[in-house]
Amino acid sequence: NAGVTQTPKFQVLKTGQSMTLQCAQDMNHEYMSWYRQDPGMGLRLIHYSVGAGITDQGEVPNGYNVSRSTTEDFPLRLLSAAPSQTSVYFCASSYAGTGAGNTIYFGEGSWLTVV
Amino acid sequence: DQQVKQNSPSLSVQEGRISILNCDYTNSMFDYFLWYKKYPAEGPTFLISISSIKDKNEDGRFTVFLNKSAKHLSLHIVPSQPGDSAVYFCAARANTGTASKLTFGTGTRLQVTL
């Protein structure tokens, strides 16, 4: 009963390094997305995907890349890490459609520090 | 421009009493509202939601009220329990969006004391 799984849970990067945050879901959800949570700012959408091969930008996409080669996986890549990307990152997934009963499920989060 | 606002960063309530968490929004395109609960070091978990065609939705101890004219919603927890201590996020979805795009408020930290 895994749901949405994120790895790693904690990571420290040096400025300029690149890395990939992994996200996998086992619920056969069409939609997947990445949010970042910063103090006093709630959760902000970085990128999202409505299905395999389709991605789009959210509110704060700069400095991040995504791809969706399979329904299950939605990795988030930091191209050249900056201290401003120090944050907690959450992956989320849901079924397609905008019906009232459609719930978004979140992973447990990845804590990233850029020094 | 914060489209979803939770103006109270924290709230302390005694066990057994009512907790009322408030949320205001500015975007009239929002048609669906959700509340998420978040414990430290965990991801947000869905709590309760309400469609814009309703003004109230109830689920056990949790009730969400929506006042569309005031662009305001509130979450009532009755009776409050110590396990309810967490950060609560209000979120909203625009009717032109997809299920995966939510706009979140900044959260309210609820502490339920004994």
Tens digit of each residue's pLDDT (9 = 90 or more) over B26-57 = 999 898 899 999 998 899 999 999 988 999 99
The whole-number pLDDT of residue B98 equals 63
Rounded to whole angstroms, the Cα distance separating B45 from B39 reads 9
pLDDT of residue A77: 98
Joined together, the tokens standing for residue B17 give 């009493």
CA-based nearest residue to B38, from A90, A59, A11, A9: A90
Query: Confidence class of residue A96 from pLDDT cuts 50, 70 and 90?
Result: confident
Dig out the tokens for A82 from the structure: 């900056």
Tokens of B12: 């302390």
Give the pLDDT score at A35: 96
**A96/B99 CB distance under 8 A:** yes
The answer to whether A100 contacts B49, with C-beta atoms less than 8 Å apart, is: yes
Better-scored residue on pLDDT, B75 or A41: B75
Q: What's residue B41's pLDDT? A: 86
- Specify the pLDDT at position A71: 95
Residue A111 or B93, more confident? A111
Could B107 and A35 be called an inter-chain contact, meaning their C-beta atoms sit closer than 8 Å?
no
Within 10 A of A67 (CB to CB), how many other CB atoms are there? Answer: 16
What pLDDT was estimated at residue A99?
A: 62
Using the Cβ of B21 and the Cβ atoms of chain A, whether some distance falls under 8 Å is answered with no
Q: Across the interface, which of A33, A99, A100 has its CB nearest the CB of B100?
A: A33
Ranking A28-37, A88-97, B81-90, B95-104 by mean pLDDT, the lowest is B95-104
- Residues in chain A whose Cβ is within 8 Å of chain B: 4, 31-33, 35, 40-45, 48-50, 58, 90, 92-100, 102-109
pLDDT at A87: 97
pLDDT for A34 beyond 60: yes
Over range A24-44, report the average pLDDT. 92
Residue A1 clears pLDDT 60, i.e. is over it: no
Residue B107: closest CA among B84, B89, B83, B93: B89
Query: Does residue B6 have a pLDDT over 70?
Result: yes
Percent share of chain A, pLDDT over 90? 83
Q: Which residues contact A108 (CB under 8 A, 6 or more apart)?
A: A6, A9, B41, B42, B43
Three-state SS at B11: strand
Q: Could you give the dihedral angle defined by the CA atoms of residues B39, B40, B43 and B47, in that order, rounded to the nearest 10 degrees?
A: 10
